[in-house]
């Protein structure tokens, strides 16, 4: 089935299925009665299971964000996206560091490979939330600062054909101001107030994320490793809805 376009066709919370096997991912969703919840499939799971895991999730009513962060020469990304488009997931992504030509190639590949010309949303990853200012400057030798550089990457991504970016919550509102309200902001690093931030350096609550311009939250361990994942999922939805 062709995908509907428009922000309203996407859910606001995607559970990151960071499991080593499809069996474990499916068991988690079934055991916790999360049928139909939107999910993110990353490299670990997709490289193990391949396209079959996407088909299985879609058959169970899950919207899918395929998080492979493609980053290669433009022609390679173009051809890869032609293949990924046939999976008819809802969201795919690339690394914005690949540059404008690569992002444009990704968009062209998605359109070429999609049924009836309706393609998944193309999201560009700006700066990984595992970076803080110190590691950003020391590791990448970029002295402009995370926020300013993320805005540069967001503007470049929009100009190149991306539908939005993955960014930190702190950057979501400035991205909206620069790129417009229709430009999607996908924000990982979301935690409830009582949660351990883990290896994420730039985190925020669901309510703060919504107030600060986030369209879509990506949540992994605070749900998948919670004592009661279903209750944790519902709490995230509740905090998002009430802006807490």
Catalytic (active-site) positions: 69
CA atoms within 13 Å, Cβ hemisphere of 64: 24
CA 184 and chain centroid, separation: 10
**Count of Cβ atoms closer than 10 Å to residue 236 Cβ:** 23
In 42-168, alpha helices (H):
43-49, 51-59, 74-85, 100-113, 133-140, 146-159
Smallest Cα–Cα separation from 33: which of 240, 185, 232, 215? 232
Which of 37, 38, 91, 36 has its CA nearest to residue 69? 91
Closest CA to 168 of 140, 122, 133: 133
- Compute the distance between CA of residue 67 and CA of residue 84 in angstroms, rounded to an integer: 11
Crossing angle of helices 133-140 and 146-159, rounded to 10°: 70
Beta-carbon contacts of residue 160 (< 8 Å; ≥ 6 apart): 100, 101, 103, 104, 107
Look up tokens 């008819």; give the residue: 88
């Amino acid at each position: 089935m062709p995908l509907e376009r428009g922000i309203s066709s996407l859910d606001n919370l995607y559970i990151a299925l960071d499991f080593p096997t499809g069996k474990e991912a499916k068991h988690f969703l079934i055991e916790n009665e999360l049928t139909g919840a939107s999910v993110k499939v990353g490299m670990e799971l997709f490289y193990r299971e391949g396209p079959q895991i996407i088909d299985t999730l879609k058959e169970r009513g899950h919207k899918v964000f395929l998080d492979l962060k493609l980053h290669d020469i433009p022609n390679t990304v173009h051809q890869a996206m032609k293949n990924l488009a046939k999976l008819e997931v809802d969201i795919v992504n690339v690394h914005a560091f690949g540059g404008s030509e690569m992002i444009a190639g990704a968009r062209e590949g998605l359109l070429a490979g999609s049924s009836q010309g309706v393609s998944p949303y193309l999201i560009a990853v700006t700066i990984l939330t595992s970076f803080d200012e110190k590691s950003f400057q020391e590791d990448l030798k970029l002295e402009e600062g995370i926020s300013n550089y993320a805005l540069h990457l967001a503007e470049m991504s929009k100009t190149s054909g991306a539908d939005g970016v993955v960014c930190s919550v702190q950057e979501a509102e400035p991205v909206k101001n620069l790129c417009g309200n229709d430009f999607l902001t996908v924000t990982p690093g979301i935690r409830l107030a009582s949660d351990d931030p883990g290896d994420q350096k730039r985190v925020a609550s669901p309510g703060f994320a919504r107030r600060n311009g986030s369209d879509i939250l990506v949540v992994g361990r605070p749900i998948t490793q919670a004592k009661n994942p279903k209750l944790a999922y519902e709490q995230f939805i509740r905090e998002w809805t009430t802006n807490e």
